[in-house]
């Protein structure tokens, strides 16, 4: 069994990657906040297909959590994460907050503009700018050829791609399909917060998306109506509170809600609080 080498400093990971690049190796970065699950491991496996050296970063980034969010209780499971990465990753970059932000939160931020204010950005002000800022830092620190992101966070993938294009960053962004439980629940590090009833009710996100996809041939409004109907039905019937944050259908090119006349591929996105836990999910749909 090969254990990944764990590096805690920026100088240390730069040194490792520079040596790898100097011998012609292709490098992939999988940025994570730890609490690794099978969805993360799918990213790592895809990274392994693309690159010779796979770096997984594990850093719970304070900049992307709002004041009343779950930064403090976000799961931190470094030992289990390292075990999960045996034979999969070459290097784990696990910096402290002081290593990443030696003078406290950075004055300089990357902002995602209008799309960063929509949907999850509207519910979590500042979240995407904090995320983009740390991703820009990680890309600059590691300087990989590839960086891997889960399609479950579709708005994050869109904004990272936009940043890479806008700032001419020399990295290829790879999105990897969402990994799901048997009943359709998208894997998330936050699923561990769901108790029995909430866990059962949480399937509503993927089921509402499936209903929206099935109704999408009749247009965007029909798709939204079908998804909403499902959320209402499950909210009424389940023992756990399900509070819808948004259900939206966006154009994959712009990430703006599609007009009723829109026909073609789109992304249906949902966010809901199930019990105390906020979950998101999305699915590709074809309108018309």
For ligand PAF, the binding residues (CB under 6 A) are 31-33, 61, 64, 131, 134-135, 153, 156
Shortest distance in whole angstroms from residue 57 CB to ligand PAF: 7
DSSP-assigned states of every residue in 44-102: HHHHHHH-SEEEEEE---GGGS-TTSSTTTS---HHHHHHHTTTT-SEEE---HHHH-B
Taking the C-alpha atoms of residue 36 and residue 189, their distance in angstroms, rounded to an integer, is 7
Closer of 55 and 134 to ligand PAF (Cβ): 134
Contact 245, 231 (CB under 8 A): no
Tell me the C-alpha distance between 19 and 62, whole Å: 30
178: left (phi over 0), alpha (psi -120 to 50) or beta: beta
Coil/strand/helix, residue 16: helix
To ligand PAF, the closest distance from the beta carbon of 146 in angstroms equals 14
Residue 218 C-beta: closest distance to ligand PAF, Å: 34
Q: Name 192's Cβ contacts closer than 8 Å, sequence gap at least 6.
A: 35, 75
Nearer to ligand PAF, 101 or 262 (CB): 101
Q: In the annotation, is 40 catalytic?
A: yes
Give CA torsion, residues 135, 92, 140, 33, to 10 deg: 10
**Edge-to-edge strand ranges of the sheet holding 5-7:** 5-7, 91-93, 53-58, 27-32, 146-150, 172-176
State whether residue 160 is helix, strand or coil.
Answer: helix
Which of 37, 40, 127, 145 is labelled catalytic? 40
* 134/31 Cα distance (integer angstroms): 10
Task: In angstroms, give the least distance from the CB of 119 to ligand PAF.
Answer: 15
What contacts 208, CB < 8 A, 6 or more positions away? 227, 228, 230, 231, 234, 247, 270
| Alpha-carbon distances of 241 from 122, 206, 225, 233, 276, rounded to whole Å | 22, 16, 20, 12, 8
The residues annotated with a catalytic role in the active site are: 40
């Amino acid at each position: 069994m090969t254990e990944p080498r764990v590096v805690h400093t920026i100088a240390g990971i730069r040194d490792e990657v520079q040596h790898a690049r100097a011998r012609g190796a292709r490098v992939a970065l999988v940025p994570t906040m730890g609490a690794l699950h099978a969805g993360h491991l799918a990213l790592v496996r895809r990274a392994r297909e693309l690159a010779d050296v796979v770096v997984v970063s594990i850093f719970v980034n304070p900049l992307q959590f709002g004041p009343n969010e779950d930064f403090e209780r976000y799961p931190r499971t470094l030992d289990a994460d390292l075990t999960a990465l045996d034979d999969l990753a070459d290097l784990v970059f696990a910096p402290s907050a002081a290593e990443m932000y030696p003078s406290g939160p950075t004055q300089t931020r990357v902002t995602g503009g209008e799309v960063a204010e929509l949907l999850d950005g509207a519910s979590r002000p500042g979240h995407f700018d904090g995320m983009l800022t740390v991703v820009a830092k990680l890309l600059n620190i590691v300087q990989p050829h590839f960086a891997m992101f889960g399609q479950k966070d579709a708005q994050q993938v869109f904004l990272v791609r936009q940043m890479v294009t806008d700032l001419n960053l020399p990295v290829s962004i790879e999105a990897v399909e969402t990994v799901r439980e048997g009943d359709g629940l998208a894997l998330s590090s936050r699923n561990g917060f769901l108790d029995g009833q909430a866990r059962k009710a949480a399937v509503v996100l993927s089921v509402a998306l499936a209903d929206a996809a099935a109704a999408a041939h009749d247009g965007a409004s029909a798709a939204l109506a079908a998804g909403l109907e499902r959320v209402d039905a499950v909210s009424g019937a389940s023992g756990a509170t399900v509070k819808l944050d948004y259900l939206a259908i966006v154009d994959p090119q712009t990430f703006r809600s599609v007009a009723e006349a829109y026909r073609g591929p789109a992304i249906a996105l949902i966010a809901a609080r199930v019990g105390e836990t906020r979950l998101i999910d999305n699915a590709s749909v074809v309108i018309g």
